[in-house]
């Protein structure tokens, strides 16, 4: 999980934005639309990032309809200190 | 023999291009997130780039090697190109 975390959040082109999204979901679980408004990215971009985060088991979703709500997975919570170490260096993230 | 030389040169050249793309992402990562992880990844790519530039130099200047040796080097270079192509795809997700 550690290697996956580093790659998905820090070693790829969209990594830092995915870290911001994960951090936002930790503060408050929400759906793709709400996230797009919060982090000021397009819906499609957020959609892509959420798919990558979900594929890599960093987030899970509750509900399967249009407005499904995302939140951090249990697995990523066990490694939350790594997530914090990455997120605290990013601009535009409130702690 | 010249086919193997051309393929090896093309593969090494492709590796240089792919590594430049990777370094572009990983340098950006390191600039935003300072850690041994991001630095290590960046240094790894830079060293691999140096290796491929050196290989390219040899393929251009030292082509008097035996055919068998050159063919082996060509296959190694091609494997590296395949690996880097996949990694670049994953990194640009």
Q: What is the pLDDT of residues B16-75, one digit of tens each?
A: 999 999 999 999 999 999 999 899 999 999 999 999 999 999 888 876 777 788 888 889
ipTM over 0.90? The verdict is: no
pTM of the model: 0.86
Contacts of B68 (CB under 8 A, 6+ apart): none
Residue B87, chain A, CB below 8 Å: the answer is: no
pLDDT at residue A14, as a whole number = 92
Q: Which of A14, A16, A52 sits opposite B33 (nearest CB)?
A: A16
- What is the Cα–Cα distance from A92 to B25, expressed in whole angstroms? 20
Contact between B8 and B73 (Cβ < 8 Å): yes
Contact between A71 and A59 (Cβ < 8 Å): yes
Contact B92 A12 (CB under 8 A): yes
Substitution target in B37, B41, B88 with the highest count of A β-carbons within 10 Å is B37
Which residues in chain B touch residue A52, judged by CB atoms under 8 angstroms apart?
Answer: 93
Chain centroid to CA B64: 23
- What is the Cα–Cα distance from B51 to B73, expressed in whole angstroms? 13
Angle at which helix B2-32 crosses helix B36-61, to 10 degrees, equals 160
Contacts of B67 (CB under 8 A, 6+ apart): B1, B4
- What is the Cα–Cα distance from B89 to A49, expressed in whole angstroms? 15
């Amino acid at each position: 999980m550690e290697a996956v975390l580093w790659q998905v959040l820090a070693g790829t082109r969209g990594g830092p934005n995915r870290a911001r999204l994960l951090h936002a979901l930790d503060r408050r679980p929400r759906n793709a639309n709400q996230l797009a408004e919060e982090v000021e990215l397009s819906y499609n971009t957020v959609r892509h990032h959420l798919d990558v985060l979900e594929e890599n088991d960093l987030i899970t979703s509750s509900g399967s309809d249009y407005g499904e709500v995302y939140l951090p997975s249990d697995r990523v919570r066990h490694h939350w200190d790594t997530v914090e170490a990455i997120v605290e260096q990013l601009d535009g993230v409130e702690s | 023999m010249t086919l193997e030389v051309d393929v090896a040169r093309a593969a090494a050249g492709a590796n240089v291009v792919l590594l430049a793309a990777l370094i572009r992402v990983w340098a950006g990562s390191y600039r935003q997130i300072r850690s041994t992880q991001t630095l290590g990844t960046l240094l790894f790519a830079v060293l691999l780039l140096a290796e491929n530039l050196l290989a390219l130099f040899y393929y251009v200047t030292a082509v008097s090697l035996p055919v068998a040796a050159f063919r082996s080097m060509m296959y190694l270079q091609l494997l590296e190109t395949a690996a880097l192509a996949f990694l670049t795809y994953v990194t640009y997700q």
